[in-house]
Structure 1
Amino acid sequence: MAEAHQAVGFQFTVTPDGIDLHLSREVLKHIYLSGVTSWRKRAIRFKNGILTGVYPASPSSLLIVVIATMSTIYARIDPSLGMIDTIKRTMPVSGYMTVQTQTVFSAILFSTGLWLSLILMLRYTLKALLSYHAWIFESHGKISFCTKLWLTLVKMFSGRRPLLYSFQTSLPRLPVPRVDDTITRYLESVRPLLDDEQYNQMEVVANNFKKDQAPKLQKYLILKSWCATNYVSDWWEEYIYLRGRSPIMVNSNFYAMDLLYVTPTHRQAARAGNVVHAMLQYRRKLERGEHAPRMFNTTRIPGIETVLCASPHPQIMFYVLSSPPLLLRDPDFVQHLSDRKHLVVYHKGRFFKVWLYYGGRHLWPSELETQFQRILDDTTEPQPGELKLAALTAGNRVPWARARLKYFSQGVNKASLEAIETSAFFLTLDDEVHGYDPEKLRSLDLYAKSLLHGKCYDRWFDKSFTLIAYKNGKLGVNAEHSWADAPIIGHMWEYVLATDCFHLGYTEEGHCKGDISNGLPPPIKLQWDIPLECQEVIEDSYMVAKVIADDVDFHGCLFDEFGKGLIKKSRTSPDAFIQLALQLAQFRDKGEFCLTYEASMTRMFREGRTETVRSCTSESTAFVRAMEDKSTTSAQRLDLFRKAADKHQNMYRLAMTGSGIDRHLFCLYIMSKYLSIDSPFLKQVLSEPWRLSTSQTPQQQLNMVDIKRFPRYVGAGGGFGPVADDGYGVSYIIIGENLITFHISSKFSSPETDSYRFGQNIRQAMLDIRALFDQKDKKEKEM
């Protein structure tokens, strides 16, 4: 064991002459190097704390202010208008200083106060500038004078080299929309889904709410917005994610895929070694304030009881509740630690602890490969109950929470569970082969299912993310959703894949580059003592998870007929184009329209996460009906398409700038439960199912790879599980100029859905919309 290996470096023997102490120079060297690394990290964090604390100014600017003040004093000019003299007279220690020292000390105090005041003024000025959102509503390629002036001022007041938290205090708060605006937009969004009688009833219920209950709820919500940094985010995280008691596997967690066409090495241990090292480099940048927080060293810890019945998936709102949130207790919580120095690896039913540091530094990729190969070569059998232990994180939350308290709160089980929950992240060395293979029809479908749920017991679904390395060298990530949204994982994943392929590289034999230090302690096999009763709980959780996993119908659709390049030439937003294609595909698939969810970001506000764009509009339904009506001309269809696309773009911009519908209604609903106000309108709104749930995966956030030069080094994006029992979940990524990948999920148990069929409908819808532009271009050439 590694502990025994390290212990030999420090020994002592009791003799008649006293204690004979033996110290190992090698061990002392590692202790020294670890101490140096620790203090270096503390120094970096302290420096970053100062830099972010005074941003957009810099510490050196204080010296400039002090020098300028002192210069004016020696020039017999008083810039303080008498304040320096006042400070000098009121200083309690003035009797112990010379007159000149008093003057200098008073000038420094005045300069510091002036400097801090200037920082506050700069921050509030920057916050006012960042509250300007008119630029986002301007036509593409047309920038008004106000926006040009705004850009200039933002550059002036933004300072240089911002760090992770530099803009935190300058970001504006998310505004609370007016109730009248939210109700109006809500009624507009449901109009195409209701007949006249249903719409009139909804209008009456909405107007009654607006008149009777909304004013009181709105006042309290505005008060919350003044007290909280973001009036949505804390409730969204708690009630949508952490209070859900049903499984988070499939329902909440999401996945990200490896490079689509390229596998840098087919050696499983080598690929894992490079990528883990790249992740450690990324974490170092995070610790230095250069990247996103809470990604590493983070675990979701289960709670036991809750009265609130919420779906764990972010794209499903609340169902009917029976009691106010004041009675709720013991939700899950997110545990975030700092600077964890190990990860836990799962392989063929065994858990291993691997140290990430040696001699005060990160392990090199070649050293990590050696560690992972040792695990792959280990032939020991899993201990009783160990094989499917992780199924506890895949099943219902209450049995897992109770088992955790009863069976994992002491002894070896507690120590081993702590090793998992406090690890930097979780790694699965999978014994299967997956990845995209154009020769195999369902390769992408099986790859997606494996990343989303695997065998239901070979991913630790509570970890912020699980890295999955397959036998053929392919990779993937399964991410827990409560701590952050997909763009955060996407940012890290782009960095890791680019670093793996273009910076670290491999030898000709496919191994990691670099030497291996002698004396590297081997991985530590975690020990378990799992009684039969606990094994039964594990098996029950596994069966619950397996039913969910077996019901997931996945289809990965690579659309390479055209992409962003051609769409932009048509002067249309690629996102609006795809959303309208999805509406057309949905109508052809089911013969009706449905409430549609599209995720948008509210990152322009402090602690902003997501908002909903309701993509099914009166304009989009008019376009779809025209496409299915043989009597309409191409020109008429194209005109309706333009109107629908403009409408969608405007709704997306409203959502991004804090004028969305659903988060406001969600918070009004939570407030109504706190105040014990029964609202039929809010109950109905928040129980409506999203039968088409969509999300776009961001691409090229870092621009570390020039995909024009390296077109095969593109990611395949990621996806999520089905949202409604009889609906579709669709994630899509616009890759470069000529490729769009769709990840489509539904449930086998629904007779109304078929993911492959829906993928074919999307493909045909995309082609049919393109044909409208082709016909237009053809007519223009003929003229």
Structure 2
Amino acid sequence: MAEAHQAVAFQFTVTPEGIDLQLSHQALTEIYLSGLRSWKKRLIRLKNSVITGVYPASPSSWLFVVIAILATMYTRSDPSMGLIAKIQEHLPVSQSMSAQCQTVVSAVLFSTMLWLSLIFTMRLCLKQLLSYHRWMFEQHGKMSNTTKVWMALVRIFSGRQPLLYSYQGSLPNLPVPAIKDTLKRYLESVRPLMDSTEFERMTKLASEFESSLGHRLQWYLKLKALWAANYVSDWWEEYIYLRGRSPIMVNSNYYGMDFLYVTPTPIQAARAGNTIHAFLLYRRKLNREEIKPVSTVIPLCAAQCERMFNTTRTPGEETDTVQHWQDSDYIAVYHRGRYFRLWVYQAGRLLSPREIEYQIQRILDDPSSPSPGEEKLGALTAGDRVPWAKVRKEYFSTGVNKRSLDCIEKAAFFVTLDDDEQGMMGEDPAASLDRYAKSLLHGKCYDRWFDKSFSVVIYKNGKNGLNAEHSWADAPVVAHLWEYALATDSFQLGYNEEGHCKGEVDSSLPRPQKLNWEIPSECQEQVAQSLAVAQALADDLDFHVFSFRVFGKGKIKKCRMSPDAFIQLALQLAYYRVTVAHDREMFCLTYEASMTRLFREGRTETVRSCSNESCAFIRALEGGEEKKLHMRLFRSASEKHQHLYRMAMTGAGIDRHLFCLYVVSKYLGVESPFLKEVLSEPWRLSTSQTPIQQVELFDLVNHPEYISCGGGFGPVADDGYGVSYSIVGENMINFHISCKHSCPDTGAHKFGAQIKKALLDLLHLLCPDQSESKKTEASPPEDKKDQ
């Protein structure tokens, strides 16, 4: 095979005359250039680690301190107050070193210690400044003098031109809330969901827990908080994600969509070329730490970015593990049941988009058939984890299967060339979006590699999308990557008039390498079983995606209301109306994801959006009370939601604290009826907002059609809903709703209709003069093909 010969650097044959050695200069050159690239990356990492290690100072500041100390010494003053002389006394005596030279060396050592002390002091000051969160609780437009002074000090101590990880050492640790405060807030959150008898029983359980076991468990958590960078994150990753034994497809993985109204090119290979190249450009910036740290008013933790590329989730019988490799110079590609390794570097340089397109087209044109059992092999990653772990250990630990599996798992990321056409198209664009969402979330249940950190899907008509594994990072981190890829693809790389990628092609590029497999019949049976489990899960999924274009955050802000609080109250109202339609009239425990990345290694916290205030407002609204009462309760519910969100972001949430207390109780082997009941409560309404983080990459004023519909996820509870929403520009809100067909009380389209009605009703209540409730939604623009 040509691929095999190109991978060999030299050949030798033993003959009667000796050893006949044949060297391949091309292969040796490739090895040399690959090694050179690897060493360059190591040097860059070393340089960045030095710069990050001394931040907020700079390495050059050391020279300034040394020169300043030496200059003062030559003016016959001693800035060290005798310390330089003390250091000189303890220097090793050397015959070749003069007294003056010893003095200079002592001064340099003192200067270095002084410089390190200043860095430590600056970092400590910055850490204390970043621990101040009162600015979040101040009214919009009314900044206190304390906060103004604080912002000035943050700018002074933050240094200049920070790298991606520059702030990591200065971020504060996540605090452990007082157990009394957590229990109080928990009881407040469940009060509207329980009758008096149930609430009294839960109050008693909480009181007994606090007075007995609670403080003992709290002591262990405080001990961990002193020792670990974050007392939640490692346990959250292990017990919430990696120890889950059910399929990660639908239950854990999530997706991101392409532009809603624009397809930059209808050529599949061309779209793949630009998209893959954009991802690799992002990886290069990530390795060099050239990505600007994400910040609100203060910087956010960037630790999750470290495992974005070259990462996979490896199945285990009891728990999975996340494996990350420092580098990978190829990607894994799936097409029509076959797996390929595609090298993305040639002679130490990154392939151009046109060259990647050329290589992708080679894969598309490859006439070879899948090996027996290869076509649906990816179903193993979509089914239950224990069978996959056992099969992997038995059939993929040696030989050709191990080598091929290693190629997939060690790849920079995974790419699927899908034969389907997706996107907003056809006579029923609404239904096509629903199919598009389902395709990204689960596909055919075997044509994605769900264990990879993320998989890129390129459809036949040029549409693309993303499926991401959840354990290694949360959606905002992946969304940042996805925004960069979409913007770079369309606005920087672009396409020629025929729709192909720009640039030239090196025709000597080696062909993509088709992976080989030897799948025995017993393994194929397990693949079929995993596929059956995954297919049943996919078939049960009901999805609805729509863009709400009657109004957006622009009008909501004009009414002096938080857009997120407004949408959350609309979701509460919609859920209440759905239950009333089924003669249940109830509220439910609602999960809204909030980040805790203001702290080191922070991930998420839960905002319990269903509150006493929100329930009181909805009951008054649906009960026909007078409008003044509606308005007062509406404002009160909105302010309460904003307060809960800020509390969650600043480390005063409820659920992560209770979760960690439960983990400690399990380690100690003690049972807590209170914690057991709290952790078993179902989240029937799970919600998440996906904000646009890099607004500067998209010109929504001049090019409003270049917007993504965001992304979504599956339902958390069998009888509940998963709702993801993204606020785009001033006049659009995108919604992704999921639930299960098997539950007779849920329906994604039914819930979507109630959300639209609730949004209109709330705007009419809040700003009747601006309400456009009588207007129908404008039809979306047609999908454009920019050739």
User: Is the shorter-chain TM-score for this pair beyond 0.5, marking a shared fold?
Assistant: yes
1:164 Cα deviation after fit: 1.9
Of the candidates 609, 619, 625, which is equivalent to residue 615 of structure 1?
A: 609
**Separation of aligned partners in 1, 2:7 and 2:56:** 49
1:30 Cα deviation after fit: 3.5
Segment drifting more, 291-300 vs 25-34: 25-34
1:636 Cα deviation after fit: 1.9
Other-structure match for 1:475: 464
| 2:712 maps to 1:719 | yes
Other-structure match for 2:657: 664
Other-structure match for 1:321: none
**Separation of aligned partners in 2, 1:250 and 1:707:** 31
**Separation of aligned partners in 2, 1:731 and 1:128:** 35
**Separation of aligned partners in 2, 1:233 and 1:4:** 44
Distance of aligned partners of 1:405 and 1:31 in 2 relative to their CA distance in 1, 3 Å threshold:
closer
| 2:311 maps to 1:298 | yes
| 2:594 maps to 1:606 | no
Other-structure match for 2:397: 409
Distance of aligned partners of 1:650 and 1:102 in 2 relative to their CA distance in 1, 3 Å threshold:
same
Segment drifting more, 26-35 vs 471-480: 26-35
Other-structure match for 1:121: 121
| 2:636 maps to 1:643 | yes
SS at match of 1:373: helix
Matches within 5 A, 1:452-531: 452-531=441-520
**Separation of aligned partners in 1, 2:587 and 2:97:** 82
1:675 Cα deviation after fit: 1.3
**Separation of aligned partners in 1, 2:275 and 2:508:** 23
1:23 Cα deviation after fit: 5.0
Segment drifting more, 762-771 vs 512-521: 512-521
1:706 Cα deviation after fit: 1.8
**Separation of aligned partners in 1, 2:37 and 2:642:** 49
Q: Deviation per CA, 1:346-379: give whole Å up to 9, x if none.
A: 1111111111110101111111111111111112
| 2:667 maps to 1:679 | no
SS at match of 1:213: helix
- Runs of 4+ in structure 1 deviating by more than 4 angstroms, as ranges, are 7-29
Other-structure match for 1:739: 732
1:759 Cα deviation after fit: 0.2
Q: Is the 8 A contact 2:33 2:347 kept in 1?
A: yes
**Separation of aligned partners in 1, 2:103 and 2:33:** 46
Distance of aligned partners of 1:553 and 1:8 in 2 relative to their CA distance in 1, 3 Å threshold:
closer
Other-structure match for 1:421: 409
**Separation of aligned partners in 2, 1:143 and 1:26:** 65
1:213 Cα deviation after fit: 1.0
Of the candidates 527, 547, 560, which is equivalent to residue 549 of structure 2?
A: 560
1:777 Cα deviation after fit: 6.8
Q: Is the 8 A contact 1:601 1:611 kept in 2?
A: yes
TM-score by length of 1: 0.94
**Separation of aligned partners in 2, 1:24 and 1:693:** 58
Q: Deviation per CA, 1:608-630: give whole Å up to 9, x if none.
A: 00000000001000111122122
Matches within 5 A, 1:120-159: 120-159=120-159
TM-score by length of 2: 0.94
| 2:721 maps to 1:728 | yes
**Separation of aligned partners in 2, 1:115 and 1:44:** 24
Distance of aligned partners of 1:147 and 1:439 in 2 relative to their CA distance in 1, 3 Å threshold:
farther
SS at match of 2:726: strand
SS at match of 1:703: helix
Other-structure match for 1:66: 66
**Separation of aligned partners in 2, 1:486 and 1:586:** 24
Other-structure match for 1:586: 575
Q: Is the 8 A contact 2:268 2:458 kept in 1?
A: yes
SS at match of 1:300: strand
Other-structure match for 1:181: 181
SS at match of 1:775: coil
1:677 Cα deviation after fit: 1.8
Distance of aligned partners of 1:12 and 1:416 in 2 relative to their CA distance in 1, 3 Å threshold:
closer
Other-structure match for 1:84: 84
Q: Is the 8 A contact 1:635 1:776 kept in 2?
A: no
Q: Deviation per CA, 1:202-224: give whole Å up to 9, x if none.
A: 11111111111111111111001
**Separation of aligned partners in 1, 2:171 and 2:317:** 36
Other-structure match for 2:224: 224
Q: Deviation per CA, 1:247-282: give whole Å up to 9, x if none.
A: 000000000000111100000011001000000000
Counterpart residue identity of residue 735, structure 1? V
Other-structure match for 1:319: none
**Separation of aligned partners in 2, 1:109 and 1:702:** 47
Other-structure match for 2:784: none
**Separation of aligned partners in 2, 1:438 and 1:145:** 57
Q: CA RMSD, aligned part only?
A: 1.5
1:439 Cα deviation after fit: 3.5
Distance of aligned partners of 1:11 and 1:399 in 2 relative to their CA distance in 1, 3 Å threshold:
closer
**Separation of aligned partners in 2, 1:92 and 1:512:** 65
**Separation of aligned partners in 1, 2:82 and 2:576:** 76
Q: Is the 8 A contact 1:728 1:744 kept in 2?
A: yes
**Separation of aligned partners in 2, 1:676 and 1:35:** 51
Segment drifting more, 695-704 vs 250-259: 695-704
Counterpart residue identity of residue 302, structure 1? P
Other-structure match for 2:781: none
SS at match of 1:555: strand
Q: Is the 8 A contact 1:255 1:477 kept in 2?
A: yes
Q: Deviation per CA, 1:379-410: give whole Å up to 9, x if none.
A: 22211111110000000000000000000111
Number of matched pairs: 752
Q: Is the 8 A contact 1:394 1:541 kept in 2?
A: yes
SS at match of 2:68: helix
Q: Deviation per CA, 1:97-122: give whole Å up to 9, x if none.
A: 10010000000000000000111001
SS at match of 2:263: coil
| 2:259 maps to 1:265 | no
Other-structure match for 1:323: none
Other-structure match for 2:381: 393
**Taking every aligned residue pair, what percent have the same amino acid on both sides?**
64
Counterpart residue identity of residue 559, structure 2? S
Counterpart residue identity of residue 600, structure 2? R
**Separation of aligned partners in 1, 2:223 and 2:10:** 60
**Separation of aligned partners in 2, 1:279 and 1:740:** 27
**Separation of aligned partners in 1, 2:13 and 2:400:** 29
SS at match of 2:105: helix
1:559 Cα deviation after fit: 0.4
Other-structure match for 2:297: none
1:34 Cα deviation after fit: 2.7
Counterpart residue identity of residue 592, structure 1? M
Other-structure match for 1:769: 762
Q: Is the 8 A contact 1:494 1:702 kept in 2?
A: no
Other-structure match for 2:690: 697
What are structure 1's unaligned runs of at least 5 residues?
A: 306-330, 779-783
Q: Is the 8 A contact 2:555 2:770 kept in 1?
A: no
